């Protein structure tokens, strides 16, 4: 059984050598130094960072988002999310004959504009991009100044599908 003892003695010594605290520290040190030397020279993809808006600059809001400036007094589903656009109805629907008018400020030029919120009629509710901003909205007893109304009421079909935000023109400054 001598060979057996010798074999195990040798294996144990080798194992002890391999996993000794000192050799582990040496290995760890090598890894750390190697990482510190190699990482800074690796090519990083900085394209994502370049796509970020510059500090202080706001990301542009498109007309599929409730925060788009023309929707400041819109209550309904955005037609731009329903197959239409900000100022046109989706196919198969018809623009309401009556509407309510809001006043919104265009952040690009700082001017106020009149916006006509016409509903698109003739199909069931679109159900996408529901927005509810109420700038200038008045209680329902002043119907013409209220946005929570189905403006398809005067159309052949009073079924409400979505709401547009048609630009009417620049608002006059109050004197
Ligand atoms: N003007 C949008 C709308 C339609 C139906 C009911 C409430 C609001």
- In this prediction, residue 49 carries a pLDDT of 43
Under the banding of pLDDT at 50, 70 and 90, the label for residue 70 is: very high
- Closest of 86, 101, 82 to residue 162, by C-alpha: 82
Ligand 1 atom with the smallest distance to the CA of 117 is 1
Task: Tell me what the mean pLDDT of segment 131-136 comes to.
Answer: 87
Who lines ligand 1 at CB under 6 A? 75-76, 119, 148-151, 160, 163
Catalytic residues: 100, 119
pTM (global) more than 0.75: no
Under the banding of pLDDT at 50, 70 and 90, the label for residue 47 is: very low
Under the banding of pLDDT at 50, 70 and 90, the label for residue 7 is: confident
For the chain, how long is the longest CA-to-CA vector?
Answer: 112
Pick the residue whose CA is nearest to atom 2 on ligand 1.
Answer: 76
Compute the distance from residue 91 Cα to the ligand 1 centre, in Å.
Answer: 19
Pick the residue whose CA is nearest to atom 4 on ligand 1.
Answer: 150
Under the banding of pLDDT at 50, 70 and 90, the label for residue 50 is: very low
Q: Cα separation of 172 and 175, whole Å?
A: 9
Which single residue is written with the structure tokens 């030029």?
Answer: 109
Does residue 53 have a pLDDT over 60?
no
């Amino acid at each position: 059984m001598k060979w057996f003892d010798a074999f195990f003695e040798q294996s144990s010594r080798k194992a002890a050598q391999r996993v000794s605290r000192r050799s582990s520290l040496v290995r760890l040190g090598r890894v750390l130094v190697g990482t510190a030397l190699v990482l800074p020279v690796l090519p990083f993809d900085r394209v994502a960072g370049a796509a970020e808006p510059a500090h202080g600059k706001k990301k542009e809001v498109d007309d599929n988002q409730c925060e788009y400036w023309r929707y400041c007094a819109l209550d309904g589903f955005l037609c731009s999310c329903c197959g239409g656009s900000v100022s046109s109805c989706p196919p198969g629907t018809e623009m309401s004959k009556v509407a309510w008018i809001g006043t919104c400020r265009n952040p690009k030029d700082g001017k106020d504009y009149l916006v006509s919120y016409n509903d698109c009629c003739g199909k069931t509710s679109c159900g996408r991009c529901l927005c509810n901003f109420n700038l200038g909205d008045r209680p329902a007893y002043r119907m013409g100044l209220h946005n929570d109304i189905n403006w398809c009421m005067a159309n052949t079909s009073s079924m409400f599908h979505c709401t547009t935000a048609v630009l009417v023109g620049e608002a006059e400054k109050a004197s």
